[in-house]
Amino acid sequence: MIRTEQTGPILTITLDNPPVNALGAALRSGLAKAIARAADDISVGAIIVTGSGKLFSAGADISEFGKPLADPQLPDVLAAIEACPKPVIAAINGTALGGGLEVALACHYRVALASAKLGLPEVKLGILPGAGGTQRLPRLVGVEAALKMIVSGDPVSVAKALASGLVDKVVENAADLLTAAAGFADSPARPTGERAVSGDAAAADAFAAANPRLFKGFTAPTACVEAVKAAATLPLTEGMAVERRLFLELVAGDQSKALRHAFFAERAAAKVDDLPKDTVKRDIARVGIIGAGTMGGGIAMNFLSAGLPVTMVETNAEALERGAALIRSNYEATAAKGRLTTDQVEAAMALLTPTLEFGAVGECDLVIEAVYENMDVKKQVFGRLDAVAKPGAILASNTSYLDVDAIAACTSRPEDVLGMHFFSPANVMKLVEVVRGAKTAPDVLATVMALGQKVGKVPVVAGVCYGFIGNRMLIPRQDNALALVMEGASPEQVDKVHTDFGMPMGPFQMTDLAGVDIGWHRDETRIDNLKDALCAQGRWGQKTKAGFYDYDANRKRSTSPVVAALIEEFREREGITPRAISDEEIVARTLYTMVNEGALILEEGIAQRSSDIDVVWLYGYGWPRWTGGPMFWGEREGFAKIVAGLEHYTDRMPESFSIAPLLRSPQPEPVA
Ligand code: 3HC
Instruction: Give the pLDDT confidence of 473-507 residue by residue, as tens digits.
Output: 999 999 999 999 999 999 999 999 999 999 999 99
- Centroid of ligand 1 to alpha carbon of 550 (angstroms): 45
**What pLDDT, on the 0 to 100 scale, is given for residue 629?**
98
Q: Tell me, using a 6 A CB cutoff, whether residue 62 lines ligand 1.
A: yes
Same domain, 295 and 218: no
Instruction: Let me know whether 423 and 533 are in one domain.
Output: no
Count CB neighbours of 655 within 10 A: 5
CA of 97 to the centre of ligand 1 (A): 9
Per-residue confidence (pLDDT) for residue 145, from 0 to 100: 97
| Residue 130 near residue 75, CB atoms below 8 Å | yes
Strands (E), 239-290: 287-290
Domain count for the chain: 3
pLDDT tens-digit series, residues 453-477: 999 999 999 999 999 999 999 999 9
Region 523-546: mean pLDDT is: 93
Are residues 238 and 345 both part of a single domain? Answer: no
The answer to which of 39-53, 225-239, 413-427, 510-524 has the lowest mean pLDDT is 510-524
Q: Is 365 a domain residue?
A: yes
Q: Among residues 538, 559, 574, which one ends one of the domains?
A: 574
| pLDDT on residue 182 | 98
Centre of ligand 1 from the C-alpha of residue 234, in Å: 32
State the Cα–Cα distance between residues 543 and 556, nearest whole angstrom. 12
Q: For residue 651, tell me if it sits in a domain.
A: no
pLDDT at 669 over 80: no
For residue range 400-453, what is the model confidence (pLDDT) as tens digits?
999 999 999 999 999 999 999 999 999 999 999 999 999 999 999 999 999 999
| Residue 265 near ligand 1, beta carbon < 6 Å | no
The reply to whether ligand 1 has any atom less than 6 angstroms from the CB of 99 is yes
In a domain, 259, yes or no: no
Contact predicate 46/81, CB 8 Å: no
CA 127 to ligand 1 center in whole angstroms: 15
On whether the CB atoms of residues 426 and 368 are closer than 8 A, the answer is: no
User: Which atom of ligand 1 is nearest the CA belonging to 268?
Assistant: 19
- 381 within 8 A of 369, measured Cβ to Cβ: yes
Residue nearest to atom 20 of ligand 1 (CA): 19
Q: Relative to the CA of 97, which ligand 1 atom is closest?
A: 45
Atom in ligand 1 nearest the alpha carbon of residue 54: 29
Pair 432, 457: CB distance under 8 Å: yes
Question: How far apart (Å, rounded) are the C-alpha atoms in residues 44 and 37?
Answer: 9
* Same-domain pairing of 445 and 499: no
Taking the C-alpha atoms of residue 564 and residue 559, their distance in angstroms, rounded to an integer, is 8
| Ligand 1 pocket residue status of 58, Cβ below 6 Å | yes
Calculated CA dihedral for residues 275, 281, 284, 285, nearest 10 degrees: 160
Amino acid at 322: R
Q: Is residue 475 part of a domain?
A: no
Question: Is 60 close to ligand 1, i.e. is its CB under 6 Å away?
Answer: yes
Based on DSSP, count helices (H) and strands (E) in the chain, helices before strands. 28, 20
Could you tell me the CATH number of the domain that includes residue 357?
Answer: 3.40.50.720
Best mean pLDDT range from 508-522, 592-606, 649-663: 592-606
Q: Which atom of ligand 1 is nearest to the CA of 60?
A: 50
Report whether 457 contacts 435 (CB < 8 A): no
Question: Which CATH number characterizes residue 508's domain?
Answer: 1.10.1040.10
Q: What are phi and psi of 448, to 5 degrees?
A: -70, -35
Give nearest CA residue, ligand 1 atom 42. 58
Q: Is 87 in the pocket of ligand 1 (CB under 6 A)?
A: no
Q: How confident is the model at residue 666 (pLDDT cuts 50, 70, 90)?
A: confident
Pair (339, 425) in one structural domain = yes
User: Catalytic residues, which ones?
Assistant: 102, 122
Going from the Cα of 20 to the center of ligand 1, the distance in angstroms, rounded, reads 6
Q: Has residue 672 got a pLDDT over 70?
A: no
Ligand 1: distance of its center to the CA of 229 in Å? 28
Cβ-based burial of 254 (10 A; exposed 0-12, middle 13-18, buried ≥19): middle
* Whether pLDDT at 328 is above 90: yes
Residue 125, pLDDT > 60, answer yes
- Please tell me the residue having the least CA distance from ligand 1 atom 29: 20
Is any atom of ligand 1 closer than 6 Å to the C-beta of 22?
yes
User: For residue 350, how many C-alpha atoms fall within 13 Å in the half-sphere facing its CB?
Assistant: 7
Whether 276 lines ligand 1, by a CB cut-off of 6 Å, is no
Whether residue 610 is predicted with pLDDT greater than 90 in this model: the reply is: yes
How many Cβ atoms sit within 10 Å of the Cβ of residue 191? 18
Note whether residue 183 is domain-resident. Answer: yes
Query: Atom 38 (ligand 1): residue with closest C-alpha?
Result: 58
> Is the pLDDT score of 330 beyond 70?
yes
Q: How far is the CA of 58 from the centre of ligand 1 (A)?
A: 6
| Domain carrying residue 364 | 287-466
User: Do the beta carbons of residue 292 and residue 324 sit within 8 Å?
Assistant: yes
Tell whether 196 and 93 lie within a shared domain: yes
Residue 185 lies in a domain: yes
Q: How far apart are CA 355 and CA 313, in angstroms?
A: 5
Q: Report the share of the chain in percent with pLDDT over 70.
A: 99
**CATH number reported for the structural domain that contains residue 101 in this entry:** 3.90.226.10
With a cut of 90, say whether residue 665 has pLDDT above it.
no
What average pLDDT does the segment 150-179 reach?
Answer: 97
User: Using CA atoms, how far apart are residues 100 and 127, in angstroms rounded to an integer?
Assistant: 15
Check residues 59 and 518 and name the one with the higher pLDDT. 59
Residue 209 has pLDDT above 90, yes or no: yes
| 226 and 138 within one domain | yes
Query: Are 166 and 64 in a shared domain?
Result: yes
Could you say which DSSP state residue 290 is in?
Answer: E
Confidence check: pLDDT of 671 > 60: no
Q: Is residue 120 part of a domain?
A: yes
Q: Please report the atom of ligand 1 found closest to the CA of residue 131.
A: 54
Nearest to 388 by CA among 407, 409, 356, 363: 363
Q: Which residue has the higher pLDDT, 519 or 138?
A: 138
**pLDDT for the residue 670:** 57
Task: Report CA(667)–ligand 1 centroid distance (Å).
Answer: 29
Last-in-domain residue among 551, 574, 597: 574
Residue range 63-99, pLDDT digits in tens: 999 888 899 999 999 999 999 999 999 999 999 999 9
Q: Which of 62, 152, 261 to mutate to test the pocket of ligand 1 (most atoms within 8 A of CB)?
A: 62
Chain centroid to CA 451? 17
Long-range contacts of 621-625 (CB under 8 A, 24+ apart): 621/423, 621/470, 621/503, 622/503, 622/504, 622/505, 623/502, 623/503, 624/217, 624/501, 624/502, 624/503, 625/258, 625/259, 625/262
Cβ–ligand 1 distance for 130 under 6 Å, the answer yes
The pLDDT score that the predictor gives to residue 207 is 96
Rounded mean pLDDT, 37-51: 97
Give me the count of residues in the chain.
672
Cβ of residue 61 lying under 6 Å from some atom of ligand 1: yes
Interatomic CA distance for residues 91 and 112, integer angstroms: 6
Let me know whether 322 and 248 are in one domain.
no
Task: List the single range of 6-10, 258-262, 300-304, 570-574 with lowest mean pLDDT.
Answer: 570-574
Residues 38 and 182 occupy one common structural domain: yes
225 and 301 belong to one structural domain:
no
Could you give the CA distance from residue 239 to residue 555 in angstroms, rounded to a whole number? 47
452 and 520, same domain (yes or no): no
pTM exceeding 0.75: yes
Mark which of 451, 466, 481 sits at the end of a domain.
466
Residue 62 CA to ligand 1 centre (angstroms): 7
The yes-or-no verdict on residue 558 having pLDDT over 60 is yes
Q: In whole angstroms, what is the distance from residue 197 CA to residue 47 CA?
A: 26
* Domain assignment of residue 432, yes or no: yes
Q: What is the mean pLDDT of the chain?
A: 96
**pLDDT (mean) for 265-284:** 95
First-to-last alpha carbon distance for the chain, in angstroms, is 27
Classify residue 279 by its DSSP letter.
P
Measured from the CB, is residue 20 less than 6 Å from ligand 1?
A: yes
SS3 424: coil
With a 6 Å cutoff on the Cβ, whether 259 touches ligand 1 is no
Residue 370 has pLDDT above 60, yes or no: yes
